[in-house]
Structure 1
Amino acid sequence: MANSYIRFDWAMKRLLRNKANFNVLEGLLTTLLKENIHIQKLLESESNQEEEFDKYNRVDMLAENDKGELFLVEIQNNNEYAYFQRMLFGTSKLVTEYINRGEGYEKVRKVYSINIVYFSLGHGKDYVYHGKTEFKGIHKGDILELTPFQKQTFKADTVSQLYPEYYILKVNDFNSVAKSPLEEWIYYLNTGEIPDNATAPGLDKAREQLKLDKMSKEELKAYYRHLDNIVILKSNIFTEREEGRVEGRAEGEKSKQLEIARNLKRMGLSTADTCKATGLSAEEVERL
């Protein structure tokens, strides 16, 4: 099982744009949204770099289902501090781009933003998050609802169904045994491995279509370079974090030393004795 399948982030970039392979992505969306999703076509999306900056580049796939709803699927390996705003920008761009000039606002299309992130995004204990828009009364605490006419006109039951919805899959935070279809998908997204007993929609197709032995020598060479870049990226992120912790501890120790030195000076201790007690230089003590 191990290392016999292509990682999903690479497959998104190179293989899943092929209509013959749509069923893999459809399986992920079906599992996540708990409804049958059938991709009709790929819509226009950002171009994707494949060379030098491949390890930092995001991969977008934009699709629509048979209800005309739009799906923005994005994979991000690189840590980006403003990623939440980037998600908002992506959905906002879709909303405005896919409405014809002169059409009424009732033609605004539903957008789902599916974000597969291979870094620590925000602070939370879960590995899958879902976000939607609701309007809550500040006095009564009730949720603002659609009128019967609006429900009939917009084919929606709640206000939140009219607004973009966001899913964040923090795949690196999953370290358990896969016990559900979604967890089977998260496990594959994290490890690139598909358990033999996995039954989640789309993973059976991934077994057939995303095998390493189906790749040419050139494709394998590029793929392994991609894996090396991911390892380097993770190593850089880990190193930066550790250096930050070390620097933070050092700055904390320095702050304690300076505070002790201030107190010693207030007590009338000489500069020389203060230096001996704190380990600070005479110049540092004199500046206090």
Structure 2
Amino acid sequence: MKKDESDLRIMEEKERKELQDRYIRFDWAIKRLLRQKANFDVLDGFLTVMLGEEIKIVEILESEGNQESADDKFNRVDIKALNSKGEIIIVEIQNTREIHYLERILYGVAKAITEHISLGEGYQQVKKVYSISILYFDIGVGDDYIYHGQNNFTGVHTGDHLRINTRERNVLVSRLPADIFPEYILIRVNEFDKVARTPLDEWIEYLKDGTIRPDTTTPGLREAREKLKYYSMSPGERLVYDRHIDDIIIQNDAIDTSKWEGRMEGLAEGEAKGLAEGLAKGMRQVAVNMKRLGMDMESIINCTGLTEEEIASL
């Protein structure tokens, strides 16, 4: 009897420790917990590691993208921050699954620029924008798990990079377009399969499976160990969070299954037409599943690429 009681206590302690060591997903935290100024140090660390220089957040900007509803899985978070040179930058972070994702990134950056310049201000007030996309889905073919892109104008014949003269404080300054134009970082979370050896790797590891090492010294993650514990949420908050995770799992499973069915149907018919028809059929089934889950029309359109009329007819 005593052995049974001892085993039960051991199991309960193990379960409690697992809950204590379980951390909230970053996409959930960034929309809800990390908007509080007391938790900015987590985001400071994340951006410092991602951008390779010390970043300090000034504020979370209010825009139509910064919504906090429980069904909001397709929006972005805009952040006003200072870089290591004391320059103001705008950082846009997205956690989105959409058919036309590259177009969505471009649209989001354009919104970030235009929403945060006051009417009548000169173009010199336009801030540098960094777009960081955390992708939990397959966006294409590539061997790396993180990609970086920026704008440069390259000579067609000479291969040199054009420098642009701008006036700052009545002084002419020569700058590369990349100093002004947006920069894009794509994090392909599911492609990470390495042993985490660098601060960047540790962040990707956390984004993928919620793992944070007990002895981590990585900026942001050491703070996240204390502030993003699953067990620290109230029972009501955990319930809402668990439903959010369940919705993501169901949605991803439905989309992945539909893609597989589409590929199989296309291969069986042996024609590109069959593949297209199979994928279209799969997307219609995804729309049906999402409607059954009570998801809003805009989210269904973004996920499936179907029109509102097509969805309404299902």
SS of aligned partner of 1:58: coil
Alignment of 1:25-174 (within 5 A): 25-45=43-63, 46-48=65-67, 50-51=69-70, 53-54=71-72, 57-66=73-82, 67-76=87-96, 78=97, 80-147=98-165, 157-174=175-192
SS of aligned partner of 1:115: strand
Residues 134 and 189 in structure 2, CA contact (< 8 A), matched pair in contact too: yes
Does residue 231 (structure 1) correspond to residue 249 (structure 2)? The answer is yes
Q: Deviations over 1:125-170 (max 9, x none)?
A: 1111111000011122211123486799587742211101111111
Does residue 210 (structure 1) correspond to residue 257 (structure 2)? The answer is no
Aligned counterpart, 1:201: 219
Residues 42 and 224 in structure 2, CA contact (< 8 A), matched pair in contact too: yes
Per-residue deviation, 1:253 = 7.8
Residues 16 and 24 in structure 1, CA contact (< 8 A), matched pair in contact too: yes
Residues 48 and 58 in structure 1, CA contact (< 8 A), matched pair in contact too: no
Per-residue deviation, 1:176 = 1.4
Residues 12 and 59 in structure 1, CA contact (< 8 A), matched pair in contact too: no
- Normalising by the residue count of structure 1, what TM-score does the alignment of the two structures yield? 0.80
Q: 2:202 aligns with which of 184, 190, 194?
A: 184
Residue identity opposite 1:136 in structure 2: T
Q: 2:261 aligns with which of 231, 234, 243?
A: 243
Measure the CA separation in 2 of the matches of 1:192 and 1:151: 46
Per-residue deviation, 1:31 = 0.2
TM-align CA RMSD = 2.4
Deviates more, 1:59-68 or 1:170-179: 59-68
Q: Deviations over 1:45-85 (max 9, x none)?
A: 2253634x45xx22422111132211111112x3x121111
| Gap regions ≥5 residues in structure 2 | 1-16, 274-314
| Greater Cα radius of gyration, structure 1 or 2 | 1
| Larger relative strand fraction | 2
* Aligned length in residues: 250
Measure the CA separation in 1 of the matches of 2:170 and 2:145: 36
- Normalising by the residue count of structure 2, what TM-score does the alignment of the two structures yield? 0.73
| Gap regions ≥5 residues in structure 1 | 256-288
Per-residue deviation, 1:119 = 0.6
Residues 156 and 162 in structure 1, CA contact (< 8 A), matched pair in contact too: no
Measure the CA separation in 2 of the matches of 1:59 and 1:22: 20
Per-residue deviation, 1:99 = 2.2
Per-residue deviation, 1:249 = 1.3
Measure the CA separation in 1 of the matches of 2:233 and 2:42: 17
- Residue 153 to residue 16, structure 1, CA distance change in 2 (3 Å): farther
Residue identity opposite 1:235 in structure 2: D
Q: Deviations over 1:81-115 (max 9, x none)?
A: 21111111111122222223333222211111111
